[in-house]
Amino acid sequence: MQARCPYCSHVFETGSHGIQFCPNPSCGQQVNVPAPAGAPAAGPACALHPDRASTGPCARCGSFMCEECSLGRQSQLCPKCRALAGGEREPTPWERRAELGLVQALWQTWKKTILTPEKFWVALKPDGSVGEAFLYAWILSSLGAVMQFLMGIINVGGGKEQLEQALRQARDLPSEIEGPLRALLDNYMALMVGILIGSVVLYPLSYIIGAALLHLGALIFGAAKNGFGATARVAAYAAAPAVLAWIPFVGGLMFIYILILQAWGIMKAQETTVGRAIGAVLFFPLLVCCCACGIGVFAGFAAARH
């Protein structure tokens, strides 16, 4: 029978169907020759099309898929699992910014993360680019830092007053500490600029540390099926609310929402349970709180003895 290579369109004679290589010397690609109507499939057969050879198993349920079911080998899920998952995993709008434009891609990704997190996390590729996700988080963090800086300029008088009040309330400060603090207060604008630059420049380090701690929590709770890359992508895209942290009385709520998005993202990207995802996200924040409380109690007892 005759077969046509889908890559170079070369037509060749073959005596069998199934996986084989194009005989064209300039091509040599692997070709799945379909079986004639009614003929048994060579090797494992497709679960939905028994007369077709399988190109591989579904990553979710393990059933074999043919070329059509795997969308030309572009999908790791069979049609049933794609339907159950609410659609195929796909790049985020941010990862399609060459097509959508920078501003539109940034806005669509942020809007989906904040307003429709279930749809966003279900469609997120666990094995997508960590660098793309990090760049998105870095831009949003920088925007938040700029807004915080502008708010500080608007309220420069109030900010200086708060620092002065804190210095007045801090009694018996050593001169080597009080002197630099007074110098910072006298150069309040320089201090604000330094905080802005530090927030932008040091964000990559804080992101790496945060993603590593989140993944360590995932490993402890058995929620790391798809590896560190999936956790790092979740940590980046879950940081979307941070851009609103400059709004008065909203910063604390945004921190809580970031934790919620992280748990949601870990559950979907690492394909784990709700309990394991929550444990992975809250393990280190709760550990830090417990340690801080313990140190505070110990310091209180030590002060009381003296």
Residue 88, pLDDT score: 64
User: Domain extents for the chain?
Assistant: 93-162+190-305
Q: What's the one-letter identity of residue 272? A: T
Q: How far apart are CA 169 and CA 25, in angstroms?
A: 83
Residue ranges with strand state E in 34-133: 56-57, 64-65
Spacing of C-alpha 84 from chain mean position: 22
Determine the pLDDT at residue 56.
Answer: 87
Cα 37 from Cα 230, distance rounded (Å): 42
Closest CA to 124 of 240, 253, 216: 240
Please give the pLDDT value at position 41. Answer: 44
- Look at residue 146 in the predicted model and tell me its pLDDT: 92
User: Residues 27-52: pLDDT tens digits?
Assistant: 777 777 776 665 544 568 888 888 88
pTM, to two decimals: 0.64
Partners of residue 65 on adjacent β-strands = 56
- Report how many helices (DSSP H) and strands (DSSP E) the chain contains, helices first: 12, 6
Task: For residue 104, give both structure tokens.
Answer: 């539109």
Ranges under pLDDT 70 in the chain: 17, 35-43, 71, 74, 82-88, 155-182, 184-186, 188, 303, 306
3-state secondary structure of 114: helix
Identify whether the C-beta of residue 11 lies closer than 8 Å to the C-beta of residue 4: yes
Burial per residue of 116-154, b for 16 or more beta-carbon CB atoms within 10 angstroms, e otherwise: ebeebbbbbbbebebeebbebbbebbbbbbeebbeebee
